[in-house]
Amino acid sequence: MEIGMAADHGGFELKEKIKSFLRDKGYTIKDFGANKLDSTDDYPDFVVPLAKEIGSGKIEKGIAICGSGIGASVAGNKVKGVRAALITDYFSAHQGVEDDNMNLLCLGGRVTGYASAEELVMAYLNAKFSGLERHNRRLQKVASLEK
């Protein structure tokens, strides 16, 4: 599975650590930037291109990181077909996929430690959407807002 990743300056260091961690586990990473630490960059410049590829189905799952994770989540959710969430706990990392078909995990580079981020990312990537009728029904209601 190819994983898309994006981060601004607030998430750059964590993105680089997670990217290396995932490559060591055999994942292919498509990096949408930032490609260098630049304190003047803006998260939408990296998160939106990643979200567009998720929304179009070119990438199945993505990880977006900014300082708090909030901006990445807000930007990602503006793109049709993207279900982004700021995740800070193990349960939500897998439940967000299982029940809500989350396809963009957002993390805060200034608030999430490396070990915790690795655990959250693996819970997210290993989770599968349940496909239960009640979850599909709810997602259809959310998708109707995008029309």
DSSP state of 24: H
Closest of 85, 122, 90, 91 to residue 107, by C-alpha:
85
Sole residue written with tokens 């349960």: 91
Helix/strand/coil for 115? helix
Query: Is residue 86 within 8 Å of residue 106, measured between CB atoms?
Result: yes
Residue 11 dihedral angles phi and psi, to the nearest 5°: -120, 5
What's the Cα-to-Cα distance from 29 to each of 67, 91, 129, rounded to whole Å?
21, 24, 21
Q: Which of 18, 66, 84, 93 is catalytic?
A: 66
Query: Is residue 22 within 8 Å of residue 61, measured between CB atoms?
Result: no
Concerning whether 106 is annotated as a catalytic residue, the answer is no
Sole residue written with tokens 């430690």: 113
Query: Which residues have a catalytic role annotated?
Result: 66
